[in-house]
Amino acid sequence: MPISQTQVTLAIGSNLLQSLRNAILQASKSISRTMLSFQRTSLKATKCSAFYRMAVTAQPFTSISMSDYTPIPNKLNLYGNTRSQPTRSVLMLLRDADVDHVLHPVDNLAGEHKKPQFKKILPAGLLPSIVTDSGVPIGEGAAILQYLVDRYNLVDWTSANVVERAQINFWLHWNHTNTRNGTMQILVPEILFPPPPEKAAAILAKGQKTHTRTCTYLCKHFQASGNKFLVNSKHPSIADLMIVTELDQLSHRGYNLFDYLPFLRIEQYIEDVRSAVRSYDETFQPVADKGAEVNRHMRVVDDNMSVCS
């Protein structure tokens, strides 16, 4: 609302000058905090790869930590970035469940997670990590997801049924040696740390073969269970949040490194999770943007892919 000259004169005349000065001081402090935040972001952007620049600066922050990794007391502090698959899994849960949190952007490609000041707070030294609202550090995406459903009573994302909870746990563990291979064996050599050119095709072929086995197993599970999601058809669970981030990034929506055409059921699954998770699109957007930027053309190496629809 515009302030009239009379109001200003009255304010000064009635001893509110001090309040006005305080207000101006507050505003200028807030502006310099914002400037500092921009400076930090652009400093990171300069020292990091183009990939990181996109992934970290483009991510929508819930809020920005002003201190170097120091957790905000009485808040749920998440450390990671939207390039990290398990960080995206945790972010989707926090966002969909409206859990108040602070996201501390950490660049693992620049080795920030190895810095002593980071490891002092998060000894596991991997992303994602959290510091709980009571100050306890927890690493591993699956452990974090399980903690969050317990701590914030997010019943929709787990199950009251002990067998279903065991099934959710199965997928959370299965991820490490199956879906996760898609990241380690395809995305890492193709996008993050390319091998010598003469080895690239063979490495990609091997990775696609591994991911084909993973997708075949998943597809068979969907066919046998008749479930829409991994454990039920009603609502995605934390297992879906964990698994989908390893699958979607390789598709044509992401980096286009794996052809899901022989696996229409998996394409449908990704779409089902996307429709059911409110924050899916905003969390995935940095990956989609980067995928469009690298403009990778699909190279299907394995002709013997199984078909699972």
- Contact residues for ligand GSH (CB under 6 A)? 84-86, 108, 113, 126-128, 140-142, 176
Smallest distance from the beta carbon of 148 to ligand GSH, in angstroms?
A: 13
The nearer residue to ligand GSH, 86 or 236, going by C-beta atoms, is: 86
The nearer residue to ligand GSH, 104 or 265, going by C-beta atoms, is: 104
The nearer residue to ligand GSH, 52 or 280, going by C-beta atoms, is: 52
Smallest distance from the beta carbon of 13 to ligand GSH, in angstroms?
A: 60
Sorted by sequence, the CB contacts under 8 Å of residue 30 that are 6+ apart come out as none
Smallest distance from the beta carbon of 84 to ligand GSH, in angstroms?
A: 3
* C-beta contacts of 152-158 below 8 A and 24+ residues apart: 152/97, 152/99, 154/93, 154/97, 154/99, 156/235, 157/93, 157/97, 157/235, 157/236, 157/237, 157/238, 157/241, 158/237, 158/238
Strands 129-131 and 101-105, by their bridges, are unpaired
Smallest distance from the beta carbon of 139 to ligand GSH, in angstroms?
A: 7
Sheet of 76-80, strands arranged across: 101-105, 76-80, 129-131, 137-139
The nearer residue to ligand GSH, 58 or 205, going by C-beta atoms, is: 58
Question: If you search the block for the tokens 């067998």, which residue do you land on?
Answer: 163
Q: What is the DSSP letter of 64?
A: B
Smallest distance from the beta carbon of 134 to ligand GSH, in angstroms?
A: 21
The nearer residue to ligand GSH, 86 or 286, going by C-beta atoms, is: 86
The nearer residue to ligand GSH, 242 or 308, going by C-beta atoms, is: 242
Using CA atoms, how far apart are residues 68 and 97, in angstroms rounded to an integer? 27
Angle at 207 between CA 167 and CA 183, to 5 degrees: 60
Smallest distance from the beta carbon of 81 to ligand GSH, in angstroms?
A: 8
Smallest distance from the beta carbon of 203 to ligand GSH, in angstroms?
A: 18
Short-list 84, 82, 246, CA closest to 179: 246
Strands 129-131 and 137-139, by their bridges, are antiparallel
Using CA atoms, how far apart are residues 79 and 113, in angstroms rounded to an integer? 9
Strand ranges (E), the chain: 76-80, 101-105, 129-131, 137-139
Backbone angles phi, psi at 126, to 5 degrees: -130, 165
The nearer residue to ligand GSH, 91 or 308, going by C-beta atoms, is: 91
Smallest distance from the beta carbon of 309 to ligand GSH, in angstroms?
A: 30
The nearer residue to ligand GSH, 142 or 308, going by C-beta atoms, is: 142
Short-list 196, 265, 273, 198, CA closest to 229: 273
